[in-house]
């Protein structure tokens, strides 16, 4: 590859995959039977990605978190027809290092295609040379977390009951990088994990089994100003965090479990001593978007479940632009969840019931329920988790023109119309 120019081809294809040894089930993947390659580009690069659709149905490929013009965004308007048709995305990477991802975004087919196996990481790098673990697959480890439901025999099940339709598809097994409850050897030292919640509907409260503390170093849009020490981190569908945990105090051969509440779905086996890293106490400076520049506050009210999901009382329509804005302007988007009589359902006040993602922009969280954001919500975000009754104020500045989506990232909700469109002109 010539410097500053990165080319990829993604073949969207059907295959067979063994989630359980000896049980082959139909699956979807990019350039393979399941998931897809980790794409990489540097800030400043021109990226060209040729997408070839070998499925028997339409698809699109959306670069979640990449701030690109509307025509290159890979949303529902950039349809790639079935049976070998192509679409080429070409854009310049103009944002800081971050862990992004790509996935299908067709009308009514996003949930089933992601569940079938389509999705991959897109890592942006930049000139910043901090002393962070960066040996991919060794001490810089991607964790694509997804839940899926299997029958006793090991067949993959999808949408088998009313709950799946109401709350989105929840599985009975959690997979990491396409593997059910895998085991991975890690160096005895500091290890960075790039974690993506690529589940259709499940949120996770991620932690290590022995209360091992860790630091969060990055949110959806890249590094935080400083590492934040925590014992767990909440991640709703579509969100990413990068964390660093220190395993140097463990004996070689010991096993640390990672998971959500009572269910540990990843086993980490401590191996030989790793490289030395000193995590700086200051990572980067984040320029705060100024509230003085805000020209408008827009409200988005999320409500309903199942086929009744709405944003501001409306369901998605391909030929309707819901919001119009101008390039270069700064706005606050006030997003809230008001479930009304549905508030009693779905685990009550403390569970994530919807979330909110916007294309074509990264935002900063000004306030969550009137308070300053905590944890990874202090960094650049593109997706934010919401409980019933929550209100978040998101401040953003529009830098790319075109038509973009905003939606709940619970994919069954998105497919049921919990999505709108905004035009930046
Ligand atoms: Cu991750 Cu509109 O998408
Ligand atoms: Cu997106
Ligand atoms: Cu939702």
Reported ipTM: the value is 0.99
* Domain final position from 99, 125, 151: 125
Q: Quote the tokens at residue 403.
A: 């038509």
d(CA 180, CA 137): 18
Confidence band for 2, pLDDT divided at 50, 70 and 90: low
- Please check the confidence at residue 348 and state whether its pLDDT lies above 80: no
Query: Distance, CA 411 to ligand 2 centroid (Å)?
Result: 12
- Please check the confidence at residue 49 and state whether its pLDDT lies above 60: yes
Q: Give the closest residue to 307 by CA, choosing from 166, 102, 125, 169.
A: 166
Same-domain check for residues 310 and 269:
no
Q: Give me the domain span that covers residue 179.
A: 140-273
Mode of pairing for the β-strands spanning 214-219 and 240-246? antiparallel
Q: What angle do CA 86, 90, 94 make, to 5 degrees?
A: 150
Name residues with Cβ closer than 5 Å to ligand 3, which is an ion: 354, 408, 410, 413
Mean pLDDT of 243-257: 97
pLDDT at 340: 80
- Please check the confidence at residue 341 and state whether its pLDDT lies above 90: no
CATH of the domain at 238: 2.60.40.420
Same-domain check for residues 261 and 308:
no
Mode of pairing for the β-strands spanning 323-325 and 419-424? parallel
Residue 134: inside a domain:
no
CA-based end-to-end distance of the chain: 34
Residue 160: inside a domain:
yes
Q: pLDDT tens, 204-234? A: 999 999 889 999 999 999 999 999 999 999 9
Query: Distance, CA 275 to ligand 3 centroid (Å)?
Result: 42
DSSP 384: E
Same-domain check for residues 228 and 165:
yes
Confidence band for 350, pLDDT divided at 50, 70 and 90: low
Q: pLDDT tens, 135-162? A: 999 999 999 999 999 999 999 999 999 9
Confidence band for 42, pLDDT divided at 50, 70 and 90: very high
* Domain final position from 125, 151, 167: 125
DSSP 138: T
Same-domain check for residues 56 and 114:
yes
Chain-wide mean pLDDT for the chain?
Answer: 96
Mode of pairing for the β-strands spanning 46-53 and 5-20? parallel
Residue 131: inside a domain:
no
Residue 62: inside a domain:
yes
**Which ligand lies nearest to the CA atom of residue 411 in the structure?**
3
Q: pLDDT tens, 312-332? A: 999 999 999 999 999 999 999
Q: Based on the structure, what is the number of domains in the chain?
A: 3
Same-domain check for residues 146 and 98:
no
d(CA 283, CA 217): 8
The answer to whether 331 touches 325, Cβ cutoff 8 Å, is yes
pLDDT at 162: 92
Supply the residue whose CA is at minimum distance from atom 3 of ligand 1. Answer: 64
- Please check the confidence at residue 345 and state whether its pLDDT lies above 70: no
Same-domain check for residues 155 and 71:
no
Same-domain check for residues 26 and 111:
yes
Q: pLDDT tens, 258-280? A: 999 889 999 999 999 999 999 99
User: 3-state DSSP helix/strand/coil percent for the chain, to nearest 5?
Assistant: 10, 50, 40
pLDDT at 210: 86
* Domain final position from 273, 304, 329: 273
Percentage of the chain surpassing pLDDT 90?
A: 95
């Amino acid at each position: 590859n010539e410097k500053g120019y990165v080319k990829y081809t993604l073949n969207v294809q059907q295959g067979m995959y063994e989630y359980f040894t000896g049980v082959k089930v139909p699956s979807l993947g990019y350039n393979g039977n399941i998931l897809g390659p980790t794409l990489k580009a540097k800030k400043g690069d021109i990226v060209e990605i040729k997408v070839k659709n070998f499925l028997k149905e339409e698809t699109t490929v959306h670069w979640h978190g990449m701030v690109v013009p509307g025509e290159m965004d890979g949303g529902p308007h950039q349809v790639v027809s079935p049976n070998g048709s192509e679409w080429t995305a070409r854009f310049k990477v103009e944002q800081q290092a971050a862990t992004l991802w790509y996935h299908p975004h067709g009308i009514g087919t996003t949930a089933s295609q992601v569940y079938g196996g389509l999705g991959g990481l897109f890592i942006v790098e930049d000139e910043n040379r901090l002393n962070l673990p960066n040996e991919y697959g060794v001490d810089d480890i991607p964790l694509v977390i997804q839940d899926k439901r299997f029958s006793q025999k090991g067949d993959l099940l999808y949408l088998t009951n009313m709950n799946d339709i109401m709350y989105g598809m929840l599985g009975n097994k959690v997979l990491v990088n396409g593997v059910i409850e895998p085991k991975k050897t890690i160096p005895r030292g500091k290890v960075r994990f790039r974690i993506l919640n690529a589940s259709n509907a499940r949120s996770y409260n991620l932690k290590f089994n022995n209360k091992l503390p860790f630091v969060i170093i990055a949110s959806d849009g890249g590094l935080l100003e400083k590492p934040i020490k925590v014992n767990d981190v909440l991640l709703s569908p579509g969100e990413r965090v990068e964390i660093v945990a220190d395993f140097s105090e463990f004996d070689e051969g010991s096993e640390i479990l990672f998971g959500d509440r009572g269910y540990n779905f990843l086993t980490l086996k401590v191996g030989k001593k790793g490289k030395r890293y000193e995590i700086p106490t200051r990572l980067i400076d984040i320029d705060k978007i100024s509230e003085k520049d805000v020209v408008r506050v827009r409200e988005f009210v999320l409500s309903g479940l199942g086929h009744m999901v709405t944003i501001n009382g409306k369901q998605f329509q391909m030929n309707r632009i819901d919001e119009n804005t101008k390039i270069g302007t700064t706005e606050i988007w006030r997003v809230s969840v008001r479930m009304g009589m549905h508030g009693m359902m779905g685990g009550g006040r403390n569970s994530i019931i919807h979330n909110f993602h916007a294309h074509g922009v990264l935002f900063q969280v000004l306030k969550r329920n009137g308070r300053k954001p905590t944890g990874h919500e202090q960094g650049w975000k593109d997706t934010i988790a919401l409980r019933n009754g929550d209100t978040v104020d998101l401040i953003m500045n529009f830098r790319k023109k075109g038509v973009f989506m905003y939606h709940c990232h619970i994919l069954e909700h998105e497919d049921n119309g919990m999505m709108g469109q905004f035009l930046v002109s």
